[in-house]
Structure 1
Amino acid sequence: MPGASIQKDETSNSSTKCQTLRKNNNKCTPLKMGGWALEIGKMALYMTFPVAMFHWFNQPEYFEKWVTDTRRQLYPPENPQHRAEIEKCIRNVRERHDQELLKALEEMEQKEKK
């Protein structure tokens, strides 16, 4: 029986060694890789997939509605009343600033006269 256990050990050992190898005519030979054709196919896929996805999803009809909706949210149509209020406020601020400058200029002229 010692020979049977040795036989068992050899088969289990050879099966673990041949996990990445295949048995061919009672010999373990290395597995063959895909070769150059597989590499060419992979490279073609790597190059064409992003280009195809860009072409597919970059069609105007896919994002035109999204762009117009986003633009309307960021830049809503102007309300004439709102625009008039803003212009009135700007005029008031400029008038106050001009009055302050005139007042400061008059004070400087009075100091020069003395």
Structure 2
Amino acid sequence: MGVKLEVFRMIVYLTFPVAMFWISNQADWFESYVVQRKRELWPPEKEGQHQELEEFKERMRKRREEKLLRAAQQSS
């Protein structure tokens, strides 16, 4: 029974990773699960979204500069 058990264990140990590799590299599976999930998590940017982000960053920078300027004037 020892040799048969070892052969069975070796088949299982080799078959499982090969099967998982084969399944995960199927183009249909990749497209249907991985790409769709990525689009759900990180949707494509809209036209004005980048411009809005830049404007927000500029407003925050100006606020921070004004706050630092006021703090510097008060300490003088």
**C-alpha separation in 2, matches of 1:44 and 1:97:** 64
Q: CA RMSD in A?
A: 2.1
Output the amino acid matched with 1:63. Answer: W
**TM-score normalized by structure 2?**
0.72
Q: Which residue in 2 is equivalent to 1:80?
A: 47
**C-alpha separation in 2, matches of 1:94 and 1:51:** 52
Q: Which residue in 1 is equivalent to 2:67?
A: 100
Task: Answer with 1 or 2: which has the greater Rg.
Answer: 1
Unaligned segments of structure 1, at least 5 residues: 1-34, 110-114
Q: Does 1:44 align with 2:10?
A: yes
Secondary structure of residue in 2 paired with 1:94:
helix
Secondary structure of residue in 1 paired with 2:48:
helix
Secondary structure of residue in 2 paired with 1:80:
coil
Q: Residues 94 and 40 (structure 1 numbering): CA distance in 2 closer, same or farther, change over 3 Å?
A: closer
Q: How far 1:45 sits from its partner (Å)?
A: 2.9
Q: How far 1:40 sits from its partner (Å)?
A: 4.2
Unaligned segments of structure 2, at least 5 residues: none
Q: How far 1:56 sits from its partner (Å)?
A: 2.7
Q: Does 1:64 align with 2:30?
A: yes
Identity of aligned residues (%): 19
**TM-score normalized by structure 1?**
0.53
**C-alpha separation in 1, matches of 2:17 and 2:56:** 52
